[in-house]
Amino acid sequence: MTSNLVSGVSGEWEVVIGLEVHAQVSSNAKLFSGASATFGANPNQNVSLVDAAMPGMLPVVNHECVRQAVRTGLGLNAEINLISVFDRKNYFYADLPQGYQISQFKQPIVGEGKLRIDLPDGSSRDIGIERLHLEQDAGKSMHDQHPSKSYIDLNRTGVALMEIVSRPDMRSSIEAAAYVRKLRSILRYLGTCDGNMEEGSLRADVNVSVRRPGQALGIRTETKNLNSLRFIQQAIDFEVARQIEILEDGGEIDQETRLFDTTTGTTRAMRSKEDAHDYRYFPDPDLLPLVISQKEVDELEMGLPELPDQIKDRLTADYGLSAYDAAVIIEERETALFYEAASEGYDRKLVANWMTVELFGALNKSGQTLSKCKVLPEQLGSLVGLISDGTISGKIAKDVFAVMFETGSDAASIVKEKGLKQVSDSGAIEALIDTVIAAHESEVAEYRAGKEKLFGFFVGQVMKQSGGQANPGMVNQILRTRLDK
Amino acid sequence: MPVDKTTVAKIARLARIYISDERQQVLATELNGILSWVDELNEVNTDNVEPLASVTGHSLPMREDVVTDGDRIDEVLANVPETTSGFFVVPKVVE
């Protein structure tokens, strides 16, 4: 295992990272009102009088949001709390009309769980989940529209969020990125959050501290509102370097909230708000405790789809895929389903290879997504089938694939149309070899005199003569007997 | 913990309420009276008693996940001092 320690001037440091992820719950309506939770409406269109905090309006919790939180908890192998309590978290901001956010403080709906992260070297590790609670999102402020005014849109106000808090179990920015990637993947499999980071459906606050290996935890900083994996890694790497430099110079870390500047990749302290963290939580008197039955939890558990870890275990154990290939394939549910359909009845490993290398390569290059791609799962499978049964070589298959990717035609018909079928007729191959040997007498003499590396030259010539269609295995074999006799 | 004048001033600041210097002392005395009265509850032995979250015996009513509200921009913005293209407009609040 590679070490995650960071070298400073005065020795090594261990990095400690915990994440708070805010995931927008997929639902039609908001957490406590009947207004739409959809993204992209006109300013203040999706706002009810509850969201606008008009006096006398009362919140009524959305049952589906509760179910989504439970599903997510189950997907994170977490304890589900049948009784949980909504609290008021009090603070003043222009985009929070109530003057408090309804959240869950002492008794969240989901307790401790764990999440398995997949690291780039193919290894896996469990990261502890401390809790998951339901809360309201705030509105959106725009500060760049007017020199002295801010514009407020309350469409997002009251939309349900799940705040998912990890244990401080991560030791590098790479692990933190792997955690968010895996969490996003699980949420998308479950259908409880669309995971769209650009639209802000998933954002993370990162808590970072450093310490000497084996020592007590250092003082941490919290960098808020990171909405891409790249920003999460940059913010952590910057914080680690900054904190180590301060500590090695004999300074102290201030426990503070910091903001990330996406243009410079640096963090800076928020203008410190006095009492900013004194939220004076108390149970919301408008809401009774949230009670769910074990029966409902059991029913939700029955309805869960197969999750990425289960699929990964199946792909590695039953199909023999490498941990890395399996991790790539299972990250998106859509990809996993594509793979299952494509590899059914064909060489599972070879299909995985073709999918991760050729198909993903072509998608990346053309900027397409799998759902818009012309190649259907069965078509990729049958292409691999043609390689397996020797109809075409792997090399020809790449050309066939290129045509398939462009046109969406079947492999078999492309092979037929273009006359690409592999030549496995030994008579035909022998004839080709004879032609090549006759045309290169001097090379044959050199080869027979001991210049063995010329063998590759002959293979190349024969393949060229055949237009790439000769069966390479047979060419090697026959050529060897001809030249060596 | 008895409430002193400083605590009253802090709570007032957190709640964005102006309370004059003289009033702060008065309120501290009143709050202490209320708190010590509530403190009497601590004399009851509550060992092995589950916390009671509601005295009514009702559980939280829930709504189905259906859009039934919204599209009432005129009402939502009815009381605003200033508005532009459907936004609330407030003095600049930016970090």
pLDDT tens readout for residues A305-337: 999 999 999 999 999 999 989 999 998 889 999
| Cβ contact A35:A53 at 8 Å | no
Q: ipTM of this predicted complex?
A: 0.88
Q: Which helix (H) or strand (E) holds A341?
A: helix A333-343
**What pLDDT score was predicted for residue A1?**
42
pLDDT per position as a tens digit, A437-478: 888 988 888 898 888 888 989 988 888 888 778 888 888 888
**What pLDDT score was predicted for residue A23?**
98
How close are the terminal C-alpha atoms of chain B, in Å? Answer: 35
Domain shared by A238 and A113, yes or no: yes
- What three-state secondary structure class fits B23? helix
**Number of domain units in chain A:** 3
Residue A272: which pLDDT band, with cuts at 50, 70 and 90?
A: low
Domain shared by A242 and A287, yes or no: yes
Distances, alpha carbon A271 to alpha carbons A123, A146, A423, B65, in Å? 41, 22, 74, 40
Domain shared by A148 and A232, yes or no: yes
Domains of chain B: 5-42 (1.10.20)
List of residues 6+ apart from A460 with CB closer than 8 A: none
How close are the terminal C-alpha atoms of chain A, in Å? Answer: 51
pLDDT per position as a tens digit, A61-113: 999 999 999 999 999 999 999 999 999 999 988 999 999 999 999 999 999 99
Of B56, B62, B69, the CB nearest to A61: B62
The verdict on B95 touching A (C-beta cutoff 8 Å) is yes
- Write out residues 85-124 of A within 8 Å (CB-CB) of B: 85, 90, 92-94
The verdict on A277 touching B (C-beta cutoff 8 Å) is no
> Looking at CA atoms only, how far is residue B45 from chain A in angstroms?
23
Q: In A193-307, which residue ranges form alpha helices assigned H by DSSP?
A: 229-248, 294-302
Per-residue tokens: A177: 């990125």
| Contact state of A270 with B59 under an 8 Å Cβ cutoff | no
| Contact state of A289 with B91 under an 8 Å Cβ cutoff | no
Domain shared by A375 and A337, yes or no: yes
List of residues 6+ apart from B22 with CB closer than 8 A: none
- Other Cβ atoms closer than 10 A to A347: 16
Domain shared by A149 and A36, yes or no: yes
Beta bridge partners of A114: A128
Q: Which residues of B touch A151 (CB under 8 A)?
A: 84, 87-89
Q: Give the residue with greater pLDDT, B42 vs A66.
A: A66
Residue A13 lies in a domain: yes
Q: Average model confidence (pLDDT) for chain B?
A: 90
Is the whole model's pTM more than 0.80, yes or no? yes
**What pLDDT score was predicted for residue B1?**
58
| Cβ contact A232:A226 at 8 Å | yes
Which residue on chain B is closest to A37 by alpha carbon?
B67
The verdict on B81 touching A (C-beta cutoff 8 Å) is no
HEC sequence for A419-441: CCCCECCHHHHHHHHHHHHHHCH
Domain shared by A254 and A393, yes or no: no
- What three-state secondary structure class fits A165? strand
In this predicted structure, the answer to whether residue A256 has a pLDDT above a threshold of 70 is yes
HEC sequence for A379-392: HHHHHHHHHHCCCC
User: What is the percent of chain A where pLDDT is above 70?
Assistant: 98
Per-residue tokens: A237: 């790497």
Domain shared by A80 and A229, yes or no: yes
Residue A1 lies in a domain: no
Going by the DSSP 8-state scheme, the letter that residue A123 receives in this structure is: -
- Other Cβ atoms closer than 10 A to A193: 26
Last residue of a domain, one of A268, A300, A332: A300
pLDDT per position as a tens digit, B43-64: 999 898 877 767 777 789 999 9
In this predicted structure, the answer to whether residue A274 has a pLDDT above a threshold of 60 is no
Q: What is the CATH number of the domain that holds A458?
A: 1.10.10.410
In this predicted structure, the answer to whether residue A295 has a pLDDT above a threshold of 90 is yes
Q: Which residues of B touch A102 (CB under 8 A)?
A: none
> Looking at CA atoms only, how far is residue A94 from chain B in angstroms?
7
Domain shared by A374 and A278, yes or no: no
| Cβ contact A33:B69 at 8 Å | yes
**What pLDDT score was predicted for residue B93?**
82
